[in-house]
Structure 1
């Protein structure tokens, strides 16, 4: 073997097991690229332990399925309350003025059956759930999935190293089709497309949250009021209580009972999704069992021929007979799929498989049987369409079903409440919502969260709406929010199909022509009732969207300001040299949102306080458009030269579902990763320098000097680690940059209002960043600076 070959073998052995993600960095002398931490050599360890952990794959599969089935059971109590209680009012919503033609019942039943099959089952359960973002769903999950694949985000915080994160990578085919590349380029090169996608995402998210305000009032609590009225009407007729009933339980008292139940429902949220699901799931399981059994009973007893409704011809005949009225009645058909978008948003609390199992094995069959039974009943009792569900109940089980119906009506809003928590967390991490506290309520299921501030605001809004409107008649057009979000989801899904999944164009066309067209028709129908209450969800959505837009607009402006005024490595050295500074013992952590470079607030600090700690780390907390970042891939470090300054840059990457500081105190974890970086960076530097200097003639000389190089490197590494450990042992100080923002000179009225008043009002009255990062107050200092945007 030649000397050159021997030398190459030595280098390969030294580099073996190291992922040189910092190689790109070595070609640049700036902070625009960050060096990444070399992943720990745990792959070999895990592979050596594989026989131990995978000795019995059947046990693993059994354990996995037990967890999936448990989550499927819990999802019944959280996800399906809204769609599960729809048999209480769908037929009365379709025929508010009664049934004109007997055959219209078959037409309406056919519409219901195909709508449930097409939207919640085929679209959401089998297609949209596959577009989850590492297990998380909702409008922002789709948006983040698209952002990860193409550069459509408006904040330029992307780094090449982000693609090295294992959960960042997409499972897509290797060959890019011309269509996918063209669409990707079009989105990346169009500022209008980027802005439009962000606005559409905010609007869709706001619609879901607004739906979360109205659903408890309509699907749950207002139904409860009407049910109480039904009780008293029955008791009055049976027990001679006609005079006593109105005085004992007036409409006003019913409303206050509803408010009390609302408050109890929202207070229960703090116990977490797992306890909520385990508590509510048995009730809804009994409910689905009841409605399925009653449906079979009515189907057999009254008219088994309603099975003819499976023929779509009855839908065509229904529209021929009723024309415009049939189109208007589609707004009532929408009521059978309310909660469909919440199914997607809530998937992060559970899993895709668990939701698919619970929907296909429990919810869908029960709903189909329930509607078939109601259709059969109405064929013989056409005048009872306004109260189909209760009139179709067998007398022997009337009161047990009634009791379960009351409980199910209360639970109906749970899907939207849990979904609201999930999408708020996603929008928060992507810079589209003010800071709020995220409480992870389960150590076993990472996506189960609770947000106290959002929960309290939802409760307050629901109470106000309940007291203001009192009856469902004034809110009968809230389906606008439901169908709009469904249509928006379809639009994003088409982008995912073409750009990420690279789906065959024929399947995309079929999806657009069938599901997309049908949703647009439904949307046009619910918009017809805009002036009959449809404005309310839009008003909620506009208010929430205004808050999200204001926060995101100023967030982007701040980031661009810092990017334009960032301090380069050379400027850091000049700033330090120009200042008669002193070195203080200890470790200082300086937080900022800027990913590329050192923020301008550092120069402001040094000019006013000419003292630096012995070790200084600039930390940028960055949110990636993914749900989770593995702990070992979370930290990116870079050393600011000259080395004797002991100044480091660190980017800490979180996914929007990651819990902050769950592995222990942040500062301790940071120091451990910093020491690892110092060791690994030394190895990279030595190997890079050797690769540059090694040639065929110098092989033997270089190999003889290896020992000297290693000894010098070891001495430098040990010295640097000792400095870091000593600084950490003396004490850690956390510097928080407090950037006050004002509109720049010459700004128009709208910009001054957004920045000077709206944003600053939100900032003053909402949670501060130091609380979100869980920084110890006794060791925290705030450094203020004014940004003119």
Structure 2
């Protein structure tokens, strides 16, 4: 098809396919633990419900996961990276404003619904112990496993990650084997793959349409599949998906075969997943299921870290501390998000206690993410000049499927779906406020022509009547063009406190819509005296400006472009390197503003999060002791002249 992008190469081999199994399929791969239990619910086991449920699951995996995500959406890669924010980065270059809404809403919903993934996966696995003893307290065990999982994040998952692939391989082989063994007892269950049974369930069965809320659980991991594109590559995902889908369908058919042999009965506390296991395999089966649930939870946690990192680079989220615990590309750790997710997961477990309760709340927010992805994807296809007819057909197909799932999932709202929607709404509020505040702040920034002040800066540098402030004085600037500079920077150097330096540096960081670019450009404004350095960094690159700037200066010294030897006579004789001082302009909201109610709320939210987020120096990786932070009052909308009356 004509809209394929070139992505970073990922060689296909047994090793890469095994890694793909471990990274990509944790969420969607553990869905057999709870999907059929949710479909049957408290209803008697009915053939129409069982066969229709299998048919709905199969065609959902075919249309939604296989066609939409594996075949179509994986083509929309951003230099090999995927996910809703990467997709937004691809299409936002057109400056179309409405694209912002599905990006923020989809990203927030993905984070919110993800809080349920670790609890529902681990709880569904651990509840298998009740086969031996109904009174086993599963809640403390689930909380213990989840807590341990979040605690190890700070050390990185390089060692544990080596086992993810083999664990998931064993898991999927177990799913297929158990399914085939049970299918042999009721082979006619294969007729459920006929779409007739899905249509019959949705149109003829009592409350059949609402079963879609449970069916949707089988594909909730499809969005994560796209988000992890950069870790494994398109071809590895497509090849492994054929194997994964086959094993999943076989297991669903096996559970259906077991259910068909128990028509008219109530499930009570029986989980069809464990019911098809031989008694001698229950203990190993529970252990493997728990391991797979941990892999699914780890995938969700890593995905959340990546999502927040992208949101920060796209100016959707306050700057928070990001740690890189290993040398694996793309692996990162966000402490604040880690502990918030842990608190949310424990809260979910304590509130619902049972996986059946979590099933009732799971999926409502994630379908909103899928709808958002559909809108962004259709616009991407439009930019790639795909036929309007094709785009129209795809839009109708996906909206029909996803809006049906959305309506069916609305039934979950009073049963816990409200919780994830509240969390998603809060996240949307944070992202929107941070983005909107940036737009408001941009009205405050005044850029002036730098060439008008270059002679004054040169003269100041040679004015020995003023004490030297630093040998090298470095300012971070938001001016996109080398010819411009913020008026506040010039005011800081020339007027606030004249800052004499031997060499002035202006450093600008441009965050690109590409993921891993690391380029820089040096502009010499006055030979040997004033320089500008522009860094072009991808939205997944940590801005370690202190380290990057040092590398740039070292390269310039090697090329004889600059002399950084100290200008102090006693130190110069010893060839000592001159001192560097960074100056960061940090804004605060001035009282001299006349804001509308909306702008005041936005700016109050912005500065609240700014106080508890990373400072500007730490956000830019300026971990040197030679950093000066200058507070600058932000006057967005100045108050008019006051009606003061002079009296005598």
Tell me the TM-score normalized by structure 2.
0.87
Match of 1:635, SS state, is strand
Match of 2:162, SS state, is helix
8 A Cα contact 2:102 2:376, kept in partner: no
Q: Report the CA distance between 1:773 and its aligned residue.
A: 2.6
Q: Report the CA distance between 1:225 and its aligned residue.
A: 5.2
In the other structure, the counterpart of 2:262 is: 381
Match of 1:440, SS state, is coil
In the other structure, the counterpart of 1:70 is: 15
Distance 1:80 1:734, change over 3 A: same
In the other structure, the counterpart of 1:538 is: 421
- Aligned residue runs from structure 1 range 357-756, under 5 A: 357-361=239-243, 363-382=244-263, 383=265, 385=267, 387-443=271-327, 445-475=328-358, 476-500=360-384, 502-562=385-445, 564-573=446-455, 582=466, 584=468, 586-596=471-481, 597-605=484-492, 606-629=494-517, 631=518, 634-640=519-525, 643=526, 646-661=529-544, 665-672=547-554, 721-723=561-563, 729-742=577-590, 745-755=593-603
CA distance in 2, matches of 1:230, 1:572: 79
Higher RCO (CA-CA < 8 Å; seq separation 6+)? 1
* 1:125 equivalenced with 2:125 (yes/no): no
Match of 1:514, SS state, is helix
8 A Cα contact 1:87 1:336, kept in partner: yes
CA distance in 2, matches of 1:197, 1:131: 16
- Larger fraction in helix: 1
8 A Cα contact 1:268 1:276, kept in partner: no
* Stretch of structure 1 that moved more, 199-208 or 472-481: 472-481
8 A Cα contact 1:78 1:418, kept in partner: no
Q: Report the CA distance between 1:93 and its aligned residue.
A: 1.2
Distance 1:745 1:739, change over 3 A: closer
Q: Report the CA distance between 1:128 and its aligned residue.
A: 1.0
Q: Report the CA distance between 1:219 and its aligned residue.
A: 2.7
The two structures, once aligned, show a CA RMSD in angstroms of 2.7
In the other structure, the counterpart of 1:761 is: 608
8 A Cα contact 1:339 1:416, kept in partner: no
CA distance in 2, matches of 1:588, 1:547: 35
CA distance in 1, matches of 2:202, 2:166: 40
* Stretch of structure 1 that moved more, 334-343 or 102-111: 102-111
Distance 1:64 1:514, change over 3 A: closer
Q: After the TM superposition, which segments of 4 or more aligned residues of structure 1 sit over 6 Å from their partners?
A: 575-581
- Aligned residue runs from structure 1 range 158-173, under 5 A: none
Match of 1:589, SS state, is strand
CA distance in 1, matches of 2:497, 2:250: 74
In the other structure, the counterpart of 1:214 is: 116
Q: Report the CA distance between 1:565 and its aligned residue.
A: 4.2
8 A Cα contact 2:201 2:209, kept in partner: no
Q: Report the CA distance between 1:357 and its aligned residue.
A: 2.8
For each residue in 1:308-362, what CA deviation from the matched residue of structure 2 results, as whole angstroms up to 9, or x when unmatched?
1222112222233225x1111100000111211111112233322332233223x
Aligned residue pairs: how many? 610
8 A Cα contact 2:117 2:297, kept in partner: yes
Q: Report the CA distance between 1:397 and its aligned residue.
A: 2.1
Q: Report the CA distance between 1:567 and its aligned residue.
A: 5.0
8 A Cα contact 2:180 2:251, kept in partner: yes
In the other structure, the counterpart of 2:38 is: 93
Distance 1:778 1:574, change over 3 A: closer
CA distance in 1, matches of 2:200, 2:357: 31
Distance 1:104 1:134, change over 3 A: same
Match of 1:598, SS state, is strand
In the other structure, the counterpart of 2:621 is: 774
Distance 1:722 1:333, change over 3 A: closer
For each residue in 1:129-152, what CA deviation from the matched residue of structure 2 results, as whole angstroms up to 9, or x when unmatched?
11121122111101000123x2x1
CA distance in 1, matches of 2:388, 2:554: 50
For each residue in 1:522-546, what CA deviation from the matched residue of structure 2 results, as whole angstroms up to 9, or x when unmatched?
1111023212211111111111122
* Stretch of structure 1 that moved more, 405-414 or 139-148: 405-414
CA distance in 1, matches of 2:64, 2:631: 52
Match of 1:439, SS state, is coil
CA distance in 2, matches of 1:782, 1:674: 27
Match of 1:530, SS state, is helix
Q: Report the CA distance between 1:672 and its aligned residue.
A: 4.4
In the other structure, the counterpart of 1:337 is: 219
Match of 1:593, SS state, is coil
Distance 1:349 1:231, change over 3 A: farther
In the other structure, the counterpart of 2:164 is: 280
8 A Cα contact 1:343 1:415, kept in partner: no
* 1:321 equivalenced with 2:218 (yes/no): no
Match of 2:329, SS state, is coil
- Aligned residue runs from structure 1 range 42-81, under 5 A: 65=11, 69-81=14-26
* 1:138 equivalenced with 2:138 (yes/no): no
In the other structure, the counterpart of 1:55 is: none
CA distance in 2, matches of 1:209, 1:602: 38
In the other structure, the counterpart of 1:227 is: 128
Distance 1:225 1:397, change over 3 A: closer
CA distance in 2, matches of 1:295, 1:751: 58
Match of 2:321, SS state, is coil
CA distance in 1, matches of 2:326, 2:444: 39
Q: Report the CA distance between 1:749 and its aligned residue.
A: 3.3
Q: Name which one, 1 or 2, has greater alpha-carbon Rg.
A: 1
8 A Cα contact 2:143 2:349, kept in partner: yes
Match of 2:310, SS state, is helix
CA distance in 1, matches of 2:353, 2:592: 47
- Aligned residue runs from structure 1 range 181-192, under 5 A: 187=96
Match of 1:232, SS state, is coil
CA distance in 1, matches of 2:195, 2:213: 19
Distance 1:143 1:615, change over 3 A: same
Q: Report the CA distance between 1:574 and its aligned residue.
A: 5.7
Match of 2:246, SS state, is helix
In the other structure, the counterpart of 1:203 is: 105
CA distance in 1, matches of 2:160, 2:66: 24
Match of 2:589, SS state, is strand
Match of 2:57 among 91, 112, 115: 112
Match of 1:588, SS state, is strand
CA distance in 2, matches of 1:723, 1:232: 77
8 A Cα contact 2:33 2:125, kept in partner: no
Match of 2:550, SS state, is helix
Tell me the TM-score normalized by structure 1.
0.72
CA distance in 2, matches of 1:145, 1:387: 43
Gaps of 5+ in 1: 1-62, 153-186, 188-193, 234-245, 680-717
Q: Report the CA distance between 1:760 and its aligned residue.
A: 2.0
CA distance in 2, matches of 1:743, 1:72: 59
- Aligned residue runs from structure 1 range 250-269, under 5 A: 250=137, 254-269=138-153
